[in-house]
Amino acid sequence: MRAAGYGRVSTEEQANEGHSLEAQREKNITYIQLQKWTLVGYFSDPGYSGKNLERPDIKRLISEIELGHIDALVVHKLDRLTRNIGDLYNLLELFEKHRVKFVSISENIDTSTAMGRMFVFMLGIFAQWYRENLGEEVKKGMSQRAKKGLHNVTVPLYGYERREDGKLIVKPEEAKWVRWIFEQYLAGIGSTNIAKRLNDMGVRRNRGAKWDQHKVMMTLTNWHYIGKVHWKEADKPEDERIIANGEHEAIIPKEMFEDAQRLLRRRKEGLASRTSYEYVYSGIIRCGKCGGMYKGKYNKQKGTLYRGYVCSNNERYGDCDHSGISEMNLTKLIFDSISLIPELTHWNEYMPHVNEHEEICKLIQASEARRSRWQMAFGDGHMPYDDFAKRMKEEMERAAELEKKLAELPEVTTSRITHEEAMSMVEELKLNWPLLEQITRKQIIQSIFQSITILKEKGKWSITHISLA
């Protein structure tokens, strides 16, 4: 058996003869010799605490075990190896994985015996409890920090530098690209194309990593960039996210962030273009016959590019005979219908969902208040147990039904632009249309409209419905 010994003593324990490195070494080596094992190494960490594994020789010992150079490890006492029950269990798992016999002389623990294996099993139960309890405490701590406006960022956050005292300081060069990402997205460029453009320009994330669609989306939804802190448990719903004012400087204006979140929601709900292609009306034109979306399509004639839109149900499945329309004619139709915007806009189309959401939330709050009053009454002895139990059971069932109903309501983005603002914006757009680039046209149109429903009857196109953004 190739055996190794390990000893440790903290600064406070060095004066204690029973814990001295010399005393541990003598007992460990004597045990190895009595077993007639071969001593292949001795590891010791003088002046180190056992609260964690951040010790040079324990790391070297782990490395030697992983390389398969050790068959047995001897320590004088368990707490010499570590004082952390989680670390101890992880080390014992490591020993078992590499078939290393572990012996602690003082506790008479030998993992090759039945008693030793039982000890490891019992230790595993306590280690699991320890980890779960620690996890809960960590979550509580992070929640309290977020509520106080203190961030929980432990990894580099692009755009900021994390100082030793934990404060976030803006990095001007990176902050410039954070703003650029928001500007591009609001200009109609998709997250995948934004990532590609950043990589093509040689812009890298922390530690030289390349950008991808996921990292761009993380940037667009990160509240830190408007001077706030946010946190929620990974398995919790988004409405439980804690958002509070932070102590760090914002990189982008609050209005820009809100516009980006609004566009994200609209794209998710199918009320805005999901692509980066330069189709001005992509994602917002609907068929007046079948209700399907119109998709962008182009053709070339004598080297000239002509953009148009066709009903997706007609294009894919052939179950709608509504014809296509050119972008030029669609633009003319919209400009000719400016004065009809108040008449064509159905303000209340989405409001029932919003009102219903508010009503259900009020009912849930009332249910919580009732349960709280009953608990106090029962605790004060003013309500019999049977009555309390019956009421609580019925109320919990009612609350569960309300929660389910709330979850099933569609997520809705309602209009925030007034008729007058929309008409004014379209009038201004009409005047400047020939001077604008295609991507700018798209950005403005999609910032005004959520959807436009078109219908062709007797050879004439008309707009039957408009939803404002």
DSSP state of 204: -
Q: Which of 10, 49, 312, 462 is catalytic?
A: 10
The single-letter code of the amino acid at 341 is: I
Nearest alpha carbon to residue 229 among 156, 341, 147, 314? 147
Q: Hey, what's the torsion of the CAs at 396, 402, 408, 413, to 10 degrees? A: -130
Distance set, CA 282 to CA 107, 294, 333, 355 (Å): 73, 7, 16, 30
Separation of alpha carbons 121 and 140, rounded Å:
29
Pairing of strands 101-104, 72-75: parallel
Structure tokens at 389: 């139990």
CB 283 within 8 A of CB 289: no
Q: Which residues contact 331 (CB under 8 A, 6 or more apart)?
A: 280, 433
Q: What phi and psi, each to the nearest 5 degrees, are found at residue 436?
A: -95, 145
Q: Establish whether 339 is a catalytic residue.
A: no
Check residue 157 and give left, alpha or beta (phi > 0: left; psi -120 to 50: alpha). beta
94, 97, 121, 98: which is closest to 109 by C-alpha? Answer: 121
Q: Is 135 exposed, middle or buried (0-12, 13-18, 19+ CB in 10 A)?
A: exposed
Torsion over CA: 179, 184, 187, 188 (sign): negative
Question: In this structure, what DSSP letter does residue 198 have?
Answer: H
Q: What is the largest CA-CA distance in the chain?
A: 104
Q: Which residues of 80-92 are buried (b: 16+ CB within 10 A; e: fewer)?
A: bbbebbebbbebb
> Would you say 171 and 161 are in contact if contact means Cβ atoms under 8 Å apart?
yes
Question: What amino acid positions are annotated as catalytic residues?
Answer: 10
